[in-house]
Structure 1
Amino acid sequence: MPLISPDDGYLTVFNLFETDTTALQDDVLVAMRDIIDHANYPGWVSSTLHSGIDAPGTANYIQWRSVEDLEARYAGQKFRTRTVPEFHRLARTVRLLKTEVAFTQHHPALDGAVEISPKRDDYTVLIVLDTAPDQQKELLDTLAKPDEWIKGVPGYRSHTYLRGLDGTFVVNYAQWDSKELYDAFHTLPEEQRPTDVRDGRARARALVTRRQANTYSVVHSRSAAS
């Protein structure tokens, strides 16, 4: 199953779809699963499909060998004339985000790298933080650093920060035990967080121009190796 590591050198692409209903979400999941099961594109490494929980939508976490391989896929006639129009028909919003892994951390009880798999029961939180191009580095530097405090927060499993290649956003991909434990962390009063954590969160809020978030469960994954 796919592993998340800043050392693998992969291009990571998030295909994010927001839908108006769960029925349309299911249609996107069916269409995406078919694409994943038949993927044989040069440079494609893996695809992991996520189903929205808090709001209707889907996320596909895709690893590519390089930007050039991805652009070749995007340039294909079928992708341009059939795949893209179909997803725009089903989804209210579509975002195709090119990123690279900048930082990852996991709970000490989890051995090895961060894994994403439908065989796990992760409650996955995905947040896109838009920012000005001249402030992306500061935002990433503020967020993407070791956090010892969060390792002791009940339910925490891992979190990963990814840098948007166009310089306009940062992605936070996090794994938790359950919705209840994540919600308890998310709504924890600021005064109950360590001072350095509070300061970092406050600075990050000042740098973010838009926040897009949803929660997911992993429902399907396939890699070129399999």
Structure 2
Amino acid sequence: MTLTAHIDTTRPVATLINVFTVSPDRQVELVDLLSRATEETMKHRPGFICANFHASLDGESVVNYAQWETEEHYRAMLADPEARVHMDKAATIATHVQPRLFRVESVHAG
């Protein structure tokens, strides 16, 4: 079964929005690393739902929008040594990393 992001105020998931600041010449490298880390490690961790990566048009940012079943699942992943290897590597490519957990408060569609 393939799980994708489903944004819904009635779905109590932990939403990670992680903004990476990166040199434009390393943006593709960072997206590739994050994508590979997700395929090899993150998606096999308990509670993982999905991850999406967005590359800014100016080349200076990468945004990771990910969903975990609970905050506890997300925190367990942070403590996982195999997952840490990938996160530490991403931190060497990015010049600034700003992860935050969110809950969905409002959804609007056209």
- TM bin (shorter chain): 0.7 to 0.9
**In percent, how many aligned pairs have the same letter?**
30
Computed over aligned residues only, the root mean square deviation of the Cα atoms, in angstroms, reads: 2.0
**Distance (whole Å) between structure 2 residues aligned to residue 203 and residue 185 of structure 1:** 16
The equivalent residue for 1:169 is 61
**TM-score, scaled to structure 1:** 0.44
1:10-159 correspondence runs (5 A): 108=1, 110=3, 113-145=4-36, 147-159=39-51
Task: Give unpaired runs (5+ residues) of structure 1.
Answer: 1-107
1:222 is the counterpart of 2:86: no
Distance 1:215 1:201, change over 3 A: closer
Give the Cα–Cα distance (whole angstroms) in 1 for the partners of residues 97 and 71 of structure 2.
Answer: 19
The yes-or-no answer on 1:208 pairing with 2:94 is yes
Q: Kindly tell me the number of residue pairs found equivalent between the two proteins.
A: 109
- Misfit runs of 4+, over 6 Å: none
TM-score by length of 2: 0.85
Rounded to whole Å, the distance in 2 between the matches of 1:144 and 1:153 is 15
Contact 2:91 2:97 in 1 (8 A): no
Summarize the Cα distance change of 1:152–1:203 in structure 2 as closer, same or farther, 3 Å threshold: closer
Runs (5+) with no aligned partner, structure 2: none
Equivalent-residue separation in structure 2 for 1:207 and 1:149 (angstroms): 19
Larger RCO, structure (CA 8 Å, separation 6 or more):
2
